[in-house]
């Protein structure tokens, strides 16, 4: 094959020798070139191969660039079409005029629920699949967190409302009691000892709430739970008086009375239900163990709905606060508070749904009723 670097001069010399009739071999030896180069010149194949190869590479590159350019043009045309469509939408869009709230703050009442502390109960972590643990030390920490969080929520809600009254619903089962034989072996305190410890926690919490929130009124309506009783079964007649919790509430009430406290006022239980009035609405407070539920579809809501309808034939309540079920649940006219003790061995046995320990907080609005419904998580 001819050398692509062969000069024009060498090509002309080869042509001259070919015109003289020389053979390929003779001309190649004479001029010092390859026989193939002489053959290519004879046959007219000699060209500037370097230039041709370069031109071919440039042509391939140009074709690729042209193809890429066509794709880019297509993409830009698509973007332009989308932009024109979006521009048409934007031209038609008018922002919604959201006006900030004007005028002074309205009044509201904070509602805090104290429910199902089971203060002296002991829960072994391994026995509940590691999801909860409970003893006296943990109980005290959760109670401290509860009061501090409740005061913080009152302050938060005061950014939009004037809150001068706080209702602290004490919904029962603050002590675990001895209603089951197993509690004789597992409780960390006797019922009498538990009453004294819970008395300190309840009174200290109310004093803290009064100091931190500077509320003008703290109303404390109480009901007894089913765990605090010292009878084998819960009595219908004189039921509250047969409960350690009745003693606890009366001791706490006398504590504030002895100090001539003008802020904290207890509403002591006379039966299963205690009633108060908030902004003209009747509020019912009850523990909730008198609601029969055996695991039916819809949970406790359906038997609770039936119970409320029956109770309303006697005293019609606009709203209800309930404990006992250890689960934070809300309905149109009720709030069930969670528990401080949380998930225990009995919950595992009955296949109850897990829920973290909590207490209920919400606001009663003069016009709209229950709003700002928060669970106070105690972990």
Q: How far apart are CA 42 and CA 151, in angstroms?
A: 108
Given a contact cutoff of 8 angstroms between Cβ atoms, the answer to whether 171 and 274 are in contact is no
Q: In residues, how long is the chain?
A: 379
Given a contact cutoff of 8 angstroms between Cβ atoms, the answer to whether 201 and 146 are in contact is no
> Per residue in 134-191, pLDDT tens?
999 999 999 999 999 999 999 999 999 999 999 999 999 999 999 999 999 999 999 9
Q: What is the mean pLDDT of the chain?
A: 90
Model confidence at 43, in pLDDT bands (50, 70, 90)? Answer: confident
Q: Which residue bears the tokens 């305190």?
A: 189
What's the pTM value of the predicted model, to 2 decimals? 0.75
pLDDT at 63 over 50: yes
pLDDT at 131 over 90: yes
198-202, 253-257, 291-295: which range is least confident on average? 291-295
Question: What residues does 264 pair with on adjacent strands?
Answer: 218
For 214, 326, 361, the CA distances from 146, given in Å and listed in that order, are: 18, 15, 10
Task: Tell which residue, 379, 359, 378, 343, has the closest CA to residue 130.
Answer: 343
For 117, 242, 267, 335, the CA distances from 235, given in Å and listed in that order, are: 22, 7, 21, 26
pLDDT at 239 over 80: yes
**How many Cα atoms within 13 Å fall on the side-chain side of residue 128?**
22
> Per residue in 315-351, pLDDT tens?
999 999 999 999 999 999 999 999 999 999 999 998 8
Q: How far apart are CA 148 and CA 50, in angstroms?
A: 88
Three-class DSSP category at 287: coil
Given a contact cutoff of 8 angstroms between Cβ atoms, the answer to whether 356 and 131 are in contact is no
What's the farthest any 2 CA atoms get from each other in the chain? 144
Mean pLDDT of 4-21: 76
Model confidence at 206, in pLDDT bands (50, 70, 90)? Answer: very high
Expressed in angstroms, the distance from the first to the final Cα of the chain is 89
Higher-confidence residue of 217 and 101: namely: 217
1-15, 51-65, 294-308: which range is least confident on average? 1-15
Given a contact cutoff of 8 angstroms between Cβ atoms, the answer to whether 62 and 56 are in contact is no
């Amino acid at each position: 094959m001819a050398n692509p670097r062969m000069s024009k001069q060498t090509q002309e010399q080869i042509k001259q020798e070919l015109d003289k009739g020389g053979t390929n071999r003779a001309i190649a030896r004479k001029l010092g070139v390859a026989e193939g180069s002489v053959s290519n010149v004879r046959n007219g194949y000699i060209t500037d191969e370097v230039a041709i190869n370069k031109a071919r590479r440039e042509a391939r590159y140009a074709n690729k660039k042209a193809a890429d350019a066509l794709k880019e043009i297509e993409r830009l045309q698509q973007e332009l079409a989308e932009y024109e469509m979006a521009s048409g939408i934007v031209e038609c869009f008018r922002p919604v005029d959201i006006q900030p709230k004007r005028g002074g703050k309205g009044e509201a009442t904070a509602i805090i629920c104290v429910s199902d502390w089971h203060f002296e109960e002991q829960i072994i972590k391994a026995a509940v699949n590691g999801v909860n643990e409970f003893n006296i030390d943990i109980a005290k920490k959760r109670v401290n967190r509860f009061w501090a969080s409740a005061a913080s929520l009152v302050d938060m809600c005061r950014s939009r409302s004037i809150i001068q009254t706080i209702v602290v619903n004490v919904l029962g089962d603050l002590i675990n009691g001895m209603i089951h034989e197993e509690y004789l072996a597992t409780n960390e305190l006797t019922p009498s000892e538990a009453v004294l410890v819970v008395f300190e926690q309840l009174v200290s919490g109310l004093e803290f709430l009064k100091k931190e929130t500077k509320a003008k009124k703290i109303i404390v309506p109480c009901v007894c739970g089913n765990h605090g009783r010292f009878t084998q079964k819960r009595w219908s007649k004189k039921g509250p008086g047969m409960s350690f919790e009745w003693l606890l509430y009366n001791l706490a009430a006398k504590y504030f009375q002895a100090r001539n406290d003008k802020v904290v006022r207890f509403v002591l239980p006379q039966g299963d239900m205690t009633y108060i009035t908030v902004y003209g609405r009747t509020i019912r407070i009850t523990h909730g163990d008198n609601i029969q539920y055996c695991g039916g579809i819809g949970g406790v809501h359906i038997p609770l709905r039936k119970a409320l309808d029956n109770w309303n034939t006697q005293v019609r309540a606009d709203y209800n606060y309930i404990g006992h079920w250890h689960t934070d649940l809300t309905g149109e006219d009720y709030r069930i508070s969670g528990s401080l003790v949380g998930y225990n061995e009995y919950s595992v046995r009955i296949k109850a749904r897990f829920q973290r320990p909590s207490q209920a907080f919400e606001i009663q609005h003069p016009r709209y009723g229950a709003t700002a419904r928060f669970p106070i998580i105690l972990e």
